[in-house]
Structure 1
Amino acid sequence: MKRIFLDLIDHMKNKKIMVIGDMVADSYLEGKISRISREAPVLILEHTGEKVVPGGAANVVHNGATLLGKVYAVGVIGLDSAGELLNQRLQQVGVNTDGFIIDEERPTISKQRIMAGGLATVRQQVVRIDKESKKPLSSHTEQKLLEYIRRTLPHMDAVVMSDYGSYTVFDTLKKNVIDWCNERSIPCMVDSRYDILSYTNVTLVKQNESEAANAAGLPDLTGQRLQEAGEKLLEQLKARAVLITQGAEGMTLFEQQGKQTHIPVTNISEVYDVSGAGDTVVVTMMLAIAAGADFFAAAKLANVAAGIVVRKSGTATTNPLELKQAIGDQFDETR
């Protein structure tokens, strides 16, 4: 079994995967605490640096690239520094960003965190400033997205739609992508924060506990409600599989014919930061399926990948070397 997973990781390399979704620039503005302002009871920070890291669907893209998949990113950015920096960051790790449509009338979705700290103080977030348009995409931008996807999708081994509710994955796009994938037997996975029930006939669905409970009309997923939610989503969406991530409890995979498999989390005592772990799960699973894995093997490998990134700070990624080491450690512990 160990050899199977190690070979699977090798076969994931260069698999073509398209990631469609809300591309976010996560910005961190760093400052050293200087003094209290005379104008108001607030800190004065001396600027020490700034970095932009991929967030939202761009984190899915980034994870796929560090796992050595050949990733095609599709989304909308603005004609601004955030979009330019995000584009550059992804290109640096080998991502194809030809599918980035520039819309001059809307900003790149960005979340700027002001971080304060010093030699004798703990670094912490002071405030976060979010920037995004609350309006749907223009018909021109929608058409450009659809044209790129229609032209490029037939060459893909797998497709992911990462919907954070910021209009990139609009209704016509959802239907067309799912139809085009089904026509060509290309596996397609969706991770939608607010609107999962609109993705009928998609191959795979990923939801966290709160998202799944909300979609199934349940207060929570305790006891038998987890099974109820998984089976309900599987039936309503006519999907082949539904994966519900459960934080410290691991994840549960629901497949057709009533098959249900729970995959426990690894090394729970070492969890540091769960930010973006769901994105890691999605892209690892789809790269594994593109490499020939069944749903269970792909979910198990994705669980191992998530176990790596939650031990890192922020929206982290993993790579084949770390994944192989974690697989080796896990099988050694079960002997």
Structure 2
Amino acid sequence: MGRDTADLVKRLAGRRILVIGDMVADIYIDGRISRISREAPVLVLEQAGEKIVAGGAANVAHNAQTLGGSVYAVGLLGEDAAAQGLADILAEKGVQTAGLFRDAARPTISKTRIIAGGRATVSQQIVRLDKESHAPLRRETEGEMLRYLDEILPQMEGIVLSDYGAGTITEAVKDKLIGYAREHGLPSIVDSRYDIRRFRDIGYVKQNDAELSAAVGRELPDEATLMAAGRELLAELSADGVLVTRGEHGMMLFSRDGTVTDIPVSDRSEVYDVSGAGDTCVATVILALAAGIEAPEAARLSNVASGIAVRKLGTATVSAAELSRALDAQGDVAD
């Protein structure tokens, strides 16, 4: 049965969402080609611009806010320009940033892309520099984070754990959040790039097909093997659902009751950039679940939102107005 799409998107508005995880600053340095260096056979670039974009868990928070949520971001930043840039981006959009703790002993996680171009050449990325600390979270910092979670969790309607492998989500933090969500019936979702098996008893799991393949330790060359892997991960984690994103093949939702929902791509127009589309997906799903929308329909909404994100360059956000227009363009989302 169809729903009025404007009403559907309105239901996402104001939902209080906790987004915790590895906050990443995506930094883009734009350089104009000047000449070839005399020191080495490399380009000399004159810096023409620099911008910081929210990445990682920060991009999930950014997307959930622009889609209409009321978002509380929790993570770790350094004492550097990247940290200030991220905090400013999120605060400007209305994200609550009191949970962004600072540690001068470690840098803000950053991915710096050097973009080279000129008047007669196409701009393109020529190198990426990554910066992050591999040291465990300090006990004092973890304690501050846990105390802050105790303070805000009673206000939350949904929880996102965004794990990019940088160690923000410690075992104590993970156990607290999953336990709280189960005890209080809160929807929760995890997006973990490298170690999804840590998150047993989580509500929902988001994985792309490559991550799912790594999680089960084997190739998934066809739909039959992917179906088996999705069911295997669902059972192992005792989750309510596993949502697998499959690029041009859409999404597949494996539910605890045994049903599998196949969701085709919503828009086959040109894809410009898949960066951050998974973050848009997660943000949409948690808002929809927090609004009481059933998981298959939440997944369909996220599929439409992700389709908007991939047609934008870089780690992009999707607004509630854009989502409404896209839903209207394709008709009501069906149950």
**When the two structures are superposed, what TM-score results if normalisation uses the length of structure 1?**
0.97
In the other structure, the counterpart of 2:163 is 163
Q: Distance in 2 between matches of 1:26 and 1:268?
A: 27
**What is the CA deviation profile of residues 110-161 of structure 1, one whole-angstrom value per residue up to 9, with x for unaligned ones?**
0111111112110011211111001111111111111111211111010000
Query: Which residues of 2 match residues 17-96 of structure 1 at below 5 A?
Result: 17-96=17-96
In the other structure, the counterpart of 2:317 is 317
In the other structure, the counterpart of 1:219 is 219
Q: CA deviation at 1:5?
A: 3.4
Q: Does the aligned pair in 1 maintain the 2:4–2:332 contact within 8 Å?
A: no
Query: Which residues of 2 match residues 193-272 of structure 1 at below 5 A?
Result: 193-272=193-272
In the other structure, the counterpart of 1:120 is 120
AA matched with 1:127: V
Q: Distance in 2 between matches of 1:257 and 1:170?
A: 30
SS of the residue aligned with 2:308? Answer: helix
AA matched with 1:130: D
**When the two structures are superposed, what TM-score results if normalisation uses the length of structure 2?**
0.97
Q: CA deviation at 1:320?
A: 1.2
In the other structure, the counterpart of 2:12 is 12
Residue 188 of structure 2 corresponds to residue 181 of structure 1: no
Q: Distance in 2 between matches of 1:240 and 1:77?
A: 32
Question: Structure 1 segments of 4 or more deviating over 3 A?
Answer: 1-5
Query: Which residues of 2 match residues 263-282 of structure 1 at below 5 A?
Result: 263-282=263-282
Q: Distance in 2 between matches of 1:127 and 1:264?
A: 34
**What is the CA deviation profile of residues 94-124 of structure 1, one whole-angstrom value per residue up to 9, with x for unaligned ones?**
1100000101110000011111111211001
Q: Distance in 1 between matches of 2:314 and 2:79?
A: 26
Q: CA deviation at 1:3?
A: 3.4
In the other structure, the counterpart of 1:292 is 292
Q: CA deviation at 1:6?
A: 2.5
SS of the residue aligned with 1:135? Answer: coil
Q: CA deviation at 1:221?
A: 4.9
Gaps of 5+ in 1: none
SS of the residue aligned with 2:269? Answer: helix
Decide whether aligned partners of structure 1 residues 197 and 55 sit closer, same or farther in structure 2, where only a CA change above 3 A counts. Answer: same
AA matched with 1:225: T
Q: Does the aligned pair in 1 maintain the 2:5–2:333 contact within 8 Å?
A: no
Q: Does the aligned pair in 2 maintain the 1:5–1:301 contact within 8 Å?
A: no
Q: Does the aligned pair in 2 maintain the 1:154–1:184 contact within 8 Å?
A: no
Gaps of 5+ in 2: none
SS of the residue aligned with 1:25? Answer: strand
**What is the CA deviation profile of residues 207-259 of structure 1, one whole-angstrom value per residue up to 9, with x for unaligned ones?**
11011112122212523111111111111111111101111100000112210
AA matched with 2:267: N
AA matched with 2:107: P
SS of the residue aligned with 1:267? Answer: coil
Q: CA deviation at 1:270?
A: 1.9
Q: CA deviation at 1:332?
A: 8.2
AA matched with 1:191: D
In the other structure, the counterpart of 1:144 is 144
Q: Distance in 2 between matches of 1:208 and 1:322?
A: 24
In the other structure, the counterpart of 1:153 is 153
SS of the residue aligned with 2:3? Answer: helix
SS of the residue aligned with 2:178? Answer: helix
Q: Does the aligned pair in 2 maintain the 1:209–1:221 contact within 8 Å?
A: no
In the other structure, the counterpart of 1:133 is 133
CA RMSD of aligned residues (A): 1.5
Percent identical among aligned pairs is 51
SS of the residue aligned with 2:205? Answer: strand
In the other structure, the counterpart of 2:105 is 105
Q: CA deviation at 1:40?
A: 1.4
Q: Distance in 1 between matches of 2:59 and 2:213?
A: 24
SS of the residue aligned with 2:243? Answer: strand
Aligned length: 334
AA matched with 1:290: A
